Amino acid sequence: MNRIAEYHWRGLDPLHIAGGVTLLLAWGVMFIMARVLPDWQMILLIGTVALASAAFLRELLNRKSSGAWMTDTHLNVYYGQKHWTFPLTGIRAVGARAAPFYARAPHLELSGGRKVQLPLTCLPAAPVLRRWFNGRPIRVDAKITLT
């Protein structure tokens, strides 16, 4: 089957951005506290921040790929090694993100009334999905919320 539209997430998750900012603040606090803390506490602080940096870098380098593509009959979604296929006739609505960095996870509302939650970065933002589903009886909802 031919892919009509494709989306592949190549950026950072919003949680990665928040983790990076937190880590930068931790390094800043460490340098500010360098003259105030005793040596043994400073060694513990340096070790903790260094281990947190290593864990964050490992998480960043091993992040999962995600995305979606649409054919004439199906919407295919992947996240890491997981893959889901939904027939377009079975999708009633898509709850999408209003913009790329909003943290509301997307979901599909199926014809039977069931809602399927998807990982945050699997589907593009709502304006892109509206173009994908143009001319189809699938509603694309996007709320501008940060939760």
| Inter-residue contact 1 to 73 (CB < 8 Å) | yes
Same structural domain for residues 26 and 70? Answer: no
- Residue 97's CATH number: 2.30.29.30
Say whether pTM exceeds 0.85: no
Report how many domains make up the chain: 2
Same structural domain for residues 107 and 131? Answer: yes
Q: What is the pLDDT of residues 56-67, one digit of tens each?
A: 999 888 888 899
Same structural domain for residues 110 and 44? Answer: no
Q: What is the pLDDT of residues 25-82, one digit of tens each?
A: 999 999 898 889 999 999 999 999 999 999 999 988 888 889 999 999 999 999 988 9
Range of the structural domain that residue 127 is part of: 5-9+65-143
Provide the residue count of the chain. 147
Same structural domain for residues 45 and 100? Answer: no
Rounded to the nearest 10 degrees, what angle do helices 39-61 and 14-32 cross at? 160
Same structural domain for residues 123 and 71? Answer: yes
